[in-house]
Amino acid sequence: MTGDVTPVTPVTTPTRRTLPTWLIVTISGLFGLFYAYFVWNAVDFLLRAASGAQPLNGYGWFVLLLSVIFPLVAFGVAFAVGWRRTWWQFSLVLISGLCVVAVFWLNILTYTVGPSGTSMIG
C-alpha cells in the first residue's frame, strides 16, 4: 500500500511582475505634464470668460469648472487602471485617457464658442 503513493507537486501560480517605482513615476510624470496642460488651458479659459464683459451664469460656471476637473479625474482613473500593468500597457492606458480629455476639451470649446455658448452668459 505504501508503494502506490505518488509524489504531489505543488502548483505554482505565475507571479505578476510589477513595474519598478521609478518607471511608474517617470511614465506618469511625463503623461501628467500633458494632462496638466489641459488643466491650465481650462483654468485660463475660465478666468478669461469670468472676467469678460458679460458675467457667467451658474451653468457657465458649471461647464467651465467641469473642464478644469475632468482632466484630473481622467488621469486618476487612468493611473488606477494601468499602474499594475506592463510599461507599454500603462502608457497605452494613459494615452487613451489623454485622448478622452482632448475630445472633451474640444467639445467644451465647440460648445462655448459656438452659437449655443450664449446660454452660459448673463
The reported pLDDT for the residue numbered 92 is 98
Section 58-86 average pLDDT: 96
| pLDDT score for 29 | 97
Of the candidates 5, 112, 4, the one whose C-alpha atom is nearest the C-alpha of residue 62 is 112
Q: Where are the domains of the chain?
A: 19-116
| 88 — pLDDT class (breaks 50, 70, 90) | very high
- Given a contact cutoff of 8 angstroms between Cβ atoms, the answer to whether 83 and 19 are in contact is yes
